[in-house]
Amino acid sequence: MSEIIRMKSVEPILHGVVKIVWLDGYEAVVDLRPVISEGEAFAFLRRSQERFRAVKLANFGHAIYWLDDQGDEIDFGSDSLRRRAERQADILRQAS
């Protein structure tokens, strides 16, 4: 099992999109709109840009998260975000 590359920072760019910097220096803009457009768990993020902008970096950089209407954490892990970022970057490279 490989070690999880932790994140250093997260910043909302626009509704549904974040910029992430990992501790190994990799930086990426990650489009989460396809994920948050489905499922009841993400409804609060779809309804409010302000709520989406309230994204937080979890302790030790293993995840990013938001607090839903009940105060529960809705999160994305560092490893899945990194895979998504690399896939999205590959798609953009292939398209250009």
Residue closest to 6 by CA, chosen among 18, 19, 24: 24
Would you state the pLDDT for residue 1? 47
Structure tokens at 24: 């190994």
The answer to whether residue 63 sits within a structural domain is: yes
User: What's the rounded Cα separation, in Å, for the pair 55 and 65?
Assistant: 6
Instruction: Pick the range with the lowest mean pLDDT from 17-26, 58-67, 85-94.
Output: 85-94
**What CATH number is associated with residue 75?**
3.30.2020.10
Its domain, for residue 20, covers 7-95
Query: Model confidence over 16-48: pLDDT tens digits?
Result: 999 999 999 999 999 999 999 998 999 999 999
Count of structural domains, the chain: 1
The answer to whether residue 1 sits within a structural domain is: no
The answer to whether residue 2 sits within a structural domain is: no
Query: Model confidence over 68-87: pLDDT tens digits?
Result: 999 999 999 999 999 999 99
Would you state the pLDDT for residue 13? 97
Would you state the pLDDT for residue 9? 98
- H helices present in the chain, as ranges: 33-36, 43-47, 49-53, 78-95
Would you state the pLDDT for residue 30? 98
Would you state the pLDDT for residue 92? 84
User: What's the rounded Cα separation, in Å, for the pair 64 and 45?
Assistant: 14
How many CB atoms sit inside 10 A of residue 85's CB?
20
